[in-house]
Structure 1
């Protein structure tokens, strides 16, 4: 994996919207530094970085970045208690004809 992806993934999931302005700005900067498109390996690692909410829209940026890689990144329907962003990725892959509902 490229250095920029490793740096982002090593920080763990995105913070929630209660995080400091500095923390959110730092994570946004890290995310935007990742060159597009991502590889399949990078997309699978990045999928683990969704936090508990949309983090002021940063989660959408992460979702769109993941979608630049080979799709679908999720090959099975997420469990009912999975992160909402995993469900969103899955629904978008199904609607785009990349995955079959299962």
Structure 2
């Protein structure tokens, strides 16, 4: 796994909207330093880094980065208690025809 991905993953999930501007900027720089495409292992590791909200759009950036890797990252429905971003990754794979499955209610 590349050092840029390891550094991002080591810092844990994205912060929420209450994080400082400096923290959000730092995480944005970390994401921007990860060259596309990511590997399957990197994509799986990055999928564990979603935070409690969209972190001023960084969650979308993370989702799109993950999707540059071999798809699908998730092959099983993460279930009703899953993080909304993990569920979104799964739903997008289903909608894209990458895996069979039923969309989550309301999706």
* Matched length: 102
Q: Show the counterpart of 2:89.
A: 89
Q: Show the counterpart of 2:105.
A: none
Unaligned runs of 5+ in 1: none
Q: Which runs of 4+ in 1 moved over 6 A?
A: none
Is 2:38 aligned against 1:38? yes
Q: TM-score, normalised by structure 2?
A: 0.94
Is 2:15 aligned against 1:15? yes
Q: Show the counterpart of 1:64.
A: 64
Unaligned runs of 5+ in 2: 103-107
Report the Cα offset of residue 79 of structure 1.
1.5
Report the Cα offset of residue 69 of structure 1.
0.2
Q: TM-score, normalised by structure 1?
A: 0.98
Report the Cα offset of residue 60 of structure 1.
0.1
Q: In 1, Cα distance between the equivalents of 2:19 and 2:52?
A: 12
